Structure 1
Amino acid sequence: MPMPKNIPLINREVSWLYFNDRVLQEAADKSVPLVERIRFLAIFSSNLDEFYRVRVATLNRLSNLNTRSKAILGFSPRKILNQIKNIVVRQERKFNHLYEDVIVKELERERIFLINETQLNVTRGSFVREYFREKILSTLVPVMINKNEPFPELKDRAIYLFVRLVQTKNNEKSRFALIEIPTDVSGRFIVLPETNNLKFITLIDDIVRYCLDDIFFIFEYDSIEAYSVQLTRDAELDLDIHVSEKFIDALSKSLLKRGKGKPMRLLYDTDMPLDMLTYLVAELDLTADGLIPGNRYHNFKDFISFPNVGRPELEYPKLAPLPVNELSTVSSIFAQISRKDYLINLPYQSFDYIIHFLREAAIDPKVREIQITLYRLAENSRIIHALINAAKNGKKVSCMLELKARFDEQANIYWTNRLEEEGVVVNYGMPDYKVHSKICLIRRTEKGKDRYYANLATGNYNEKTAKLYCDHSLFTANPLITSELVTFFDGLQKQVFHSAYKHLIVSPLQSRQKINSLINKEIKTAKTGKNASIILKMNSLTDVAIIEKLYEASNAGVKIKLIIRGMCCLVPGIAGFSENIEVISIIDRYLEHARVWIFGDAGRQNVYLSSADMMARNLDHRVEVGFPILDAEIRSEILDIINIQLKDNTKAREINELNNNRYRKTGTKVLSRAQTDIYTYLKYKK
């Protein structure tokens, strides 16, 4: 759909970069514990890697189309690529300043020293060389570069040292080599022996630099230079095939090609001599857009595992998961859900309730069938183990495992094979549609009749990310919901879409229509002079038609408040369009991941939770499930949590036309920090 030129919009890729800048703000925030600030640098870096592998790769493909691409898309891909380059270069400068001039110096004040190969004394140098010879040397495969042969193919996101061996005697030409840094051997960081209560950490990159003479001893040289580089490749998969039994094989072959995709970005050490950089760029066939100056360390995502060798206060204190009122894990969870609905607020409350739900189902003689949709799973998934156990106990287990979950494809292929080996029926999904919903339905025989129990969630069935992502997970046995889930799973099995849902909001056939209907209801209310309100929380808002509808509602007098963590193409506060719209983004220790839709003014709110963001892909090209909160007590709890977030004046940033990520002030001297306040609220709620 062409972008309308008559409404204010921000390009989605540019908006995403401003989101990542909010992550960088956390690294700069002195109130954040120091080691956590390093981890935010890692998150920023990891985010940017994926952005280049997917979004920039897509824009590059579009920019290679004919001149009609601008007319079709509504923007020039080449122009956006230039904007991206300019923003990213500015952000990389900010990143390097934060790391080199701020973080490293603050570590030193904590008596923690990050040292490189030039800063090793005799004792630590001996330790490093011994470590290198025992643990690293045998894993290295240096590749000598011969200008008469094809240039070696660099792996996607691997760290390399680009080495030059210089010999001034006999006017011999310099030799070049590439060394891949083996970060999977023992991690990226090595803690060195302590001296006088001083802590020392070095990176495996610098250990290799220190021991280059152990690698190239057979050559004659006067000096060795080594500079780090990292190549990011196009990671989008070309799959022109419907989902079938052959799909796994086709996907596996495409995954092998992913690591050989077109180069998108070369991150290089700015200390590298120009002649070496020029040679490298020519061999890799890179454009100027893909050349990003950096520091001596790349793949900074590894810093997520930076070791805290200092005070405990350098990290966030661990918060014990809170219990859910009246929901016990030492008595039958089915008996409890049969009486009332329960809401799990992750990560403040424990994901173990969901594991308990499935484990009980696996051994309960009354349970006949388990149906579940899975998207991203933990590495050693207890969800999978519970499903396998259920199949072994004679339950009919049907699992819709989405093979096309980006960057989790390989893991999901593994789990698919494992489940099928254990007797679980695996459904490969819908042709041309990702199944992104997070739903589990259990059929249980009670007094000779079937009764259904469900879990519906905004986030993945992943016990690892459940400790870091803020999501909501609902347990219910309400037939108004469960009867429609029976229809939903029937559609998945038969690969057909149903649309006659009265309570669920299901993509791709129904979500857009239902959202428009709910917005129209508020517009109609506002036009009668009554208070009308919409509150939406999600990861991303990019769908142009929905944005147009929200502008229409704003112009009608509907008060709209948005909590958008990531991309937001809507521009608030613009006369004639969005004067009644406020947008905030909360970035804090946990990742805000829940999707909450609230329509109606106080006293008449309709509350929905969903797996879907308001993006064209979620509304039109994915299988998503939104669901109403019918229990009054749970509805009140969600409203309380959203209101706490709307009061945040510590970690909330304003989204505005300036894109300056200004911290939000609420006009009160009382500091409100949503994630801390929500934990306290749930802890003392009765």
Structure 2
Amino acid sequence: MPQLYYPKELSWLAFNERVLQEAQDINNPVIERVRFLGIFSNNQDEFFRVKVPDLKRKALLKKAEGNLNALNKYQTLLDNIQEKVLAFNAKFNQAYQDIQQELKKNDIEIVSHEQLSAYHQEWLKQYFTDKVLRYTQPLIVSNLIDFPSCIEDHLTYLFVELSNQEKYQYAAIEVPCTETNRFVLLPKEKDNNVQKIILLDDVVCFSLTDIFKGLFAFDSIIAYSFKMTRDAEYLLSEQDLDDSILMKMTKSLKQRLHADPVRVVCDEEMPQRMEKRLKKLLGFTAYDSTLPGSRYRNFKDFINFPNVGKASLRYTKWRALDSKQFRKYNTTFEAISKQDILLHYPYHKFHHFKEFIRQASFDPAVTSIKLNVYRVAQKSQIIGSLLDAVRNGKKVTVNVELRARFDESNNIEWSKKMTDAGIKVLFGINSLKVHSKLCLINRQENGSIVKYAQVSTGNFNEDTAKIYTDLALFTKNQLIAEEVDNVFKFIEHSYKDFHFDHLLISPINQRKRLNQLVKNEIKNAKANLPAKIILKLNNLVDKKLIDKLYDASNAGVDIHLIIRGMCSLKPGLAGISERITVTSIVDRYLEHARVMLFHNNGAPLVFITSADWMARNIEDRVEVGLPIYFPPLKQQIIDMLELQMGDNCKARVIDQQQQNNYVTRDKHKKQSSQREIYQYLKLSERNE
């Protein structure tokens, strides 16, 4: 019997390898390739903050239980992860070298402090004194400090060794990237058109002597970069019943500052004595990862590599589209009253949703606004409009998910600000994360209350709306809007019984409805009727749902999956998944929209949803799946799925080993689905 499921942790690494492939792709503009290195690095950090600690805890638990078989399973998986990460590290370093050469060809050069001309040395001394020195705070290693608790996991550090007559003193210096730019553009020299860039790490290295002289005696001084990753899990204590969820989350976030380290990545040139000393100071165990790397650690900052050189070194900008349906009416409410409107971010402007909330904030007919907040921008115009709405006498209710990983602090601050302004702030359900993306506006029209709803696959976030592909439906369909209102009521009063005929709601009816939809296709296939399922998801790891897809494949249902990230399903297994194909698309935008299509014997059922097919999304979160009823919008989604299934530029085949081979083009013309979708929508708006 073959193994039916691919390990989700290894599948996550396979996804990040696809990101690395974009950095390696010479067809991508070179500055975008640099930024893909930053995205890859940021993803790896999250993997070691979330996935690896979870495996470590499970391994240690099985060891304590004496369950050697389970312990070996987790240890083997950790070993496989280490092996893959080391292989990625080599590919990453090679990609960075190749990119540096390509930058040089375009008169852009990343230089170290050893490569500075006399002119740039003088300039940099003054720059360090004026811009950097004030933020440089060495941490001196001694018995007086708890070294690991002083090192934060999202920062870059230099590990410094001061040598004096063969005696060593060690220190760590945080590279102050949050206070000043990581990339320093050096002034161009006379008769030299090359734009030289030095990283802040090297600026500090260049100035080491100036930092320590007069305070420490040393014959020589050297420094090498390192970055540490901590366990990102936090614990919500149930012991203090007097604590609010806000207080508990604030306490729990403080735990993260001192959580156990799980990985350190250091400059591969660091002498062995220094590396050994660093690992000992950090208290590393056999379950922790130590990785050698290139000169620069914390490549995530490379996401913001500066726009230098010719425009051709970056992606050609695609101007976000106006929705003509919104534009041809005086208000968003008039437009939605005429028909359902579907926006495709980032191809469409997020401005239309912001305008929806802005107009509601002062429209005399609007009585109330409800919104779910999972991740919002640090400077959010949306919340600004909600604050205005309260000032204008509207009743505003906002559910804030405080447990949105890595956005907890931002959400806590917004919660306090909204509460102080008079907004009714809810914190969801203790046992369930609220991950649905809903907005509901009540409006007085002709003597009665009419509900306007917006259901989205993505967050109400001005920043991510520029780089994540998401779908958002605006509707005045009262059947849908009433059920959206019931989701908000369920969040506030989860003990009450709610029934949903249209929406797929986790954890109420989502699994049951998905099973019914798959079973319907199986029934049609067994009756020799056309049967097909197309799923576009971020992750597919729920084994019960995977088994349903295996059953459907065996019954004769054709299944195509477009999975961006983790995929535990194995396609092409004889007698199990022969009718299933899986592809994954990684391109300039992050694929984030979740779409489900069931053929239904020629009367297709199409849904957009906030939920991936993961146990946590089906059972442990509040998620919403929305049926698309308006035929033109349904066809639009079907057309876009066809474009994605025809991608032969950025699509990879997900096979049983997840080797990430690109879809073969054969004699077909190039088809990049993101470009094709943009052109499709552009033409649609023009025709509208």
Specify the TM-score bucket, using the shorter chain as the normaliser.
over 0.9
In the superposition, relative to structure 1, how do residues 614 and 293 fare at CA in structure 2: closer, same or farther (>3 Å)? same
Q: Which of the residues 72, 77, 97 maps onto 2:74?
A: 77
Matched, 1:228 2:222: no
Aligned partners of 2:501, 2:666: CA distance in 1, in Å? 42
Q: Which residue of 2 aligns with 1:191?
A: 185
Q: Which residue of 2 aligns with 1:158?
A: 155
Verify the 8 A CA contact 1:541 1:613 in the aligned structure 2. yes
Aligned partners of 1:492, 1:208: CA distance in 2, in Å? 50
> Please, which moves more after superposition, 276-285 or 223-232?
276-285
Verify the 8 A CA contact 1:329 1:353 in the aligned structure 2. no
Aligned partners of 2:296, 2:437: CA distance in 1, in Å? 38
Matched, 1:426 2:422: no
Corresponding letter in the other structure for 2:203: I
Matched, 1:98 2:98: no
Q: Which residue of 1 aligns with 2:172?
A: 178
Aligned partners of 1:459, 1:149: CA distance in 2, in Å? 44
Tell me the secondary structure at the aligned position of residue 525 of structure 1. Answer: helix
Matched, 1:281 2:279: yes
In the superposition, relative to structure 1, how do residues 498 and 628 fare at CA in structure 2: closer, same or farther (>3 Å)? farther
Residue 406 of structure 1, CA deviation: 0.5
Q: Which residue of 2 aligns with 1:255?
A: 253
Number of residue pairs aligned between Structure 1 and Structure 2: 678
Aligned partners of 2:357, 2:454: CA distance in 1, in Å? 10
Residue 295 of structure 1, CA deviation: 1.1
Aligned partners of 2:568, 2:102: CA distance in 1, in Å? 37
Aligned partners of 2:560, 2:519: CA distance in 1, in Å? 16
Aligned partners of 2:186, 2:484: CA distance in 1, in Å? 56
Residue 354 of structure 1, CA deviation: 0.5
Residue 658 of structure 1, CA deviation: 2.4
| Structure 1 residues without counterparts, runs of 5 or longer | none
Aligned partners of 1:96, 1:283: CA distance in 2, in Å? 27
> Please, which moves more after superposition, 605-614 or 247-256?
247-256
Q: Which residue of 2 aligns with 1:208?
A: 204
Matched, 1:109 2:105: yes
In the superposition, relative to structure 1, how do residues 329 and 383 fare at CA in structure 2: closer, same or farther (>3 Å)? farther
Aligned partners of 1:497, 1:231: CA distance in 2, in Å? 46
Tell me the secondary structure at the aligned position of residue 506 of structure 1. Answer: strand
Residue 221 of structure 1, CA deviation: 2.4
Q: Which residue of 1 aligns with 2:363?
A: 364
**TM-score with structure 1 setting the length:** 0.96
Q: Which of the residues 269, 272, 279 maps onto 1:271?
A: 269
Tell me the secondary structure at the aligned position of residue 602 of structure 2. Answer: coil
In the superposition, relative to structure 1, how do residues 629 and 149 fare at CA in structure 2: closer, same or farther (>3 Å)? closer
Aligned partners of 1:271, 1:661: CA distance in 2, in Å? 31
Verify the 8 A CA contact 2:520 2:600 in the aligned structure 1. no
Equivalence map 1:513-528=2 (5 Å): 513-528=512-527
Q: Which residue of 2 aligns with 1:403?
A: 402
Aligned partners of 2:122, 2:629: CA distance in 1, in Å? 67
Tell me the secondary structure at the aligned position of residue 597 of structure 1. Answer: strand
Corresponding letter in the other structure for 2:158: L
**TM-score with structure 2 setting the length:** 0.96
Corresponding letter in the other structure for 1:51: F
Verify the 8 A CA contact 1:156 1:260 in the aligned structure 2. no
Corresponding letter in the other structure for 2:47: F
In the superposition, relative to structure 1, how do residues 607 and 71 fare at CA in structure 2: closer, same or farther (>3 Å)? farther
Equivalence map 1:336-347=2 (5 Å): 336-347=335-346
Verify the 8 A CA contact 2:38 2:301 in the aligned structure 1. yes
Q: Which residue of 1 aligns with 2:389?
A: 390
Aligned partners of 1:341, 1:59: CA distance in 2, in Å? 45
Verify the 8 A CA contact 2:19 2:40 in the aligned structure 1. yes
Aligned partners of 1:246, 1:204: CA distance in 2, in Å? 42
Verify the 8 A CA contact 1:70 1:77 in the aligned structure 2. no
Q: Which residue of 1 aligns with 2:538?
A: 539
Aligned partners of 1:579, 1:75: CA distance in 2, in Å? 32
Verify the 8 A CA contact 1:506 1:623 in the aligned structure 2. yes
Tell me the secondary structure at the aligned position of residue 338 of structure 1. Answer: helix
Tell me the secondary structure at the aligned position of residue 671 of structure 1. Answer: coil
In the superposition, relative to structure 1, how do residues 534 and 71 fare at CA in structure 2: closer, same or farther (>3 Å)? farther
Q: Which residue of 1 aligns with 2:508?
A: 509
Tell me the secondary structure at the aligned position of residue 327 of structure 2. Answer: coil
Corresponding letter in the other structure for 2:96: Y
Residue 458 of structure 1, CA deviation: 0.3
In the superposition, relative to structure 1, how do residues 244 and 439 fare at CA in structure 2: closer, same or farther (>3 Å)? farther
Verify the 8 A CA contact 1:375 1:401 in the aligned structure 2. yes
Residue 134 of structure 1, CA deviation: 1.1
Measured against aligned partners, the alpha-carbon deviations of 1:400-427 in whole angstroms (never above 9, x if no partner) come to 1111100101000110011111111001
In the superposition, relative to structure 1, how do residues 148 and 237 fare at CA in structure 2: closer, same or farther (>3 Å)? closer
Matched, 1:27 2:20: no
Tell me the secondary structure at the aligned position of residue 338 of structure 2. Answer: coil
Aligned partners of 1:246, 1:643: CA distance in 2, in Å? 48
Aligned partners of 1:358, 1:646: CA distance in 2, in Å? 35
Measured against aligned partners, the alpha-carbon deviations of 1:329-364 in whole angstroms (never above 9, x if no partner) come to 761111121121000011001111111111111111
Corresponding letter in the other structure for 1:409: E
Matched, 1:491 2:487: no
Aligned partners of 2:652, 2:316: CA distance in 1, in Å? 24
Matched, 1:89 2:86: yes
Corresponding letter in the other structure for 2:280: A
Tell me the secondary structure at the aligned position of residue 649 of structure 1. Answer: coil
Q: Which residue of 2 aligns with 1:477?
A: 476
Aligned partners of 1:651, 1:107: CA distance in 2, in Å? 23
Equivalence map 1:646-685=2 (5 Å): 646-665=645-664, 667-685=666-684
Matched, 1:12 2:12: no
Verify the 8 A CA contact 1:457 1:473 in the aligned structure 2. yes
Verify the 8 A CA contact 2:529 2:601 in the aligned structure 1. no
Measured against aligned partners, the alpha-carbon deviations of 1:429-463 in whole angstroms (never above 9, x if no partner) come to 11111000000111111111111101000000001
Corresponding letter in the other structure for 2:397: S
In the superposition, relative to structure 1, how do residues 6 and 431 fare at CA in structure 2: closer, same or farther (>3 Å)? farther
Matched, 1:145 2:141: yes
Verify the 8 A CA contact 1:497 1:509 in the aligned structure 2. no
Aligned partners of 2:80, 2:497: CA distance in 1, in Å? 42
Q: Which residue of 1 aligns with 2:569?
A: 570
Measured against aligned partners, the alpha-carbon deviations of 1:17-62 in whole angstroms (never above 9, x if no partner) come to 0000000000000111100000000000000001101111111111
Equivalence map 1:20-59=2 (5 Å): 20-59=16-55
Verify the 8 A CA contact 1:23 1:40 in the aligned structure 2. yes
Verify the 8 A CA contact 1:647 1:666 in the aligned structure 2. no
Verify the 8 A CA contact 2:59 2:71 in the aligned structure 1. no
Aligned partners of 2:80, 2:492: CA distance in 1, in Å? 45
Aligned partners of 2:434, 2:144: CA distance in 1, in Å? 49
Tell me the secondary structure at the aligned position of residue 62 of structure 2. Answer: coil
Matched, 1:133 2:129: yes
Aligned partners of 1:446, 1:382: CA distance in 2, in Å? 27
Corresponding letter in the other structure for 2:159: F
Aligned partners of 1:173, 1:38: CA distance in 2, in Å? 40
Q: Which residue of 1 aligns with 2:623?
A: 624
Verify the 8 A CA contact 2:530 2:602 in the aligned structure 1. no
Verify the 8 A CA contact 1:89 1:292 in the aligned structure 2. yes
> Please, which moves more after superposition, 285-294 or 438-447?
285-294
Residue 76 of structure 1, CA deviation: 2.2
In the superposition, relative to structure 1, how do residues 147 and 423 fare at CA in structure 2: closer, same or farther (>3 Å)? closer
Aligned partners of 1:450, 1:147: CA distance in 2, in Å? 68
Residue 72 of structure 1, CA deviation: 10
Residue 601 of structure 1, CA deviation: 5.4
Corresponding letter in the other structure for 2:484: L
Aligned partners of 2:243, 2:423: CA distance in 1, in Å? 15
| Structure 2 residues without counterparts, runs of 5 or longer | none
Question: What fraction of aligned residue pairs are identical, expressed as a percent?
Answer: 43
